[in-house]
Amino acid sequence: MTNFTLKSTVQLRGSGIELPLLGLGVYRNDDCKPACLAALKHGYKHIDSARMYRNEAEVGDALRESGVPREQVFITSKVNNPEHGYQKTKAAIESSLRNFNFEYIDLMLMHSAMSDKERRLESWRALVEAKAAGTVRAIGVSNYGVKHIEEIREAGYEMPDVNQVELHPLCQQKHIVDYCIANGIVVEDYCPLIRAQWNIPALLKVTEKLGKTPAQVLVRWSLQRGFVPLPKSSDPDRVVTNAALYDFEISAEDMKLIDALDRGKDGAISWNPVDVD
């Protein structure tokens, strides 16, 4: 019996809507419909896409085919870096709505800060206006460092609901996480499964003790840390297995073992452009 109670959603402070804590990532999955259908059949209520992934249409088709009502599933997309700027971001949002064939997108993120301050803020203004118009329910950022979010505050705009960053035991982004927590920004983590680089003695010790897969332990670690993990798999069976997280708990002692794996920036295994100018 587990004593650690996990919520299923977190409320986004800026919009008041509920974000499901476990999401399916569909990065680099051109044929993501089978994974999406498996996820929706087995209780996932959150799918994380992006314009750069070029699979928004497949996500929308999967949701309609699943029979799950649109309002019960939280769908995210992201404005691609070359689309920064007010007019380009407005056009990107309209394009995404057409791709999904939705009337609204639950969460729209800036995919990274990889342009310049002026264009980032122009894009943010476009996102704020889209939220006010109801075509986007919540807005946020991805791969943003503290200085990039501070630009938004200093410009007098509403703050992001979410910051999605590479985050896992090897790369815990502590400075960014502390800032986000202090400012009521939900932290979503991509690459929570460390791209299956699991030959880590401390991790394997915990998985053996619990009788769980490394993927399950890594996602459970993220949930117990208060993050929103977005595990990706193109295999429908693994999509289901990765969500079997609620019949066990990682003890405080074992959480410390996993926490101690942090290598800072050296632990990054992906893009992680949080320090760009």
pLDDT in tens, the chain (277 residues): 344 578 899 999 999 999 999 999 999 767 899 999 999 999 999 999 999 999 999 999 999 999 999 999 999 999 999 999 999 999 999 999 999 999 999 999 999 999 999 999 999 999 999 999 999 999 999 999 999 999 999 999 999 999 999 999 999 999 999 999 999 999 999 999 999 999 999 999 999 999 999 999 999 999 999 999 999 999 999 999 999 999 999 999 999 999 999 999 999 999 999 999 9
| Dihedral angle over CA of 242, 245, 247, 252, nearest 10 | 130
The C-alpha angle with vertex 38 and arms to 271 and 206, in degrees rounded to 5, equals: 60
Whether domain 9-266 has CATH 3.20.20.100: the reply is yes
Show the DSSP H helices in 104-259 as ranges.
117-133, 146-154, 174-182, 201-210, 214-224, 236-241, 252-259
Q: Please, are residues 47 and 60 in contact by the beta-carbon 8 Å criterion?
A: no
Nearest to 273 by CA among 70, 112, 121: 112
- The single residue of 27, 44, 53, 104 carrying the catalytic annotation is 53
CA 274, CA 258: separation in Å to the nearest integer? 23
Q: Give residue limits of the domains in the chain.
A: 9-266
Query: 């807005």: which residue's tokens?
Result: 139
The backbone torsions φ and ψ at residue 173, rounded to the nearest 5 degrees and listed phi first, read: 50, 50
Nearest to 81 by CA among 119, 47, 112: 112
Residues 6+ apart with CB under 8 A from 52: 78, 80, 111
**If DSSP codes are grouped into helix, strand and coil, which group holds residue 277?**
coil
Residue 53: active-site member: yes
Please, which residues bridge with residue 25 across strands? 48, 232
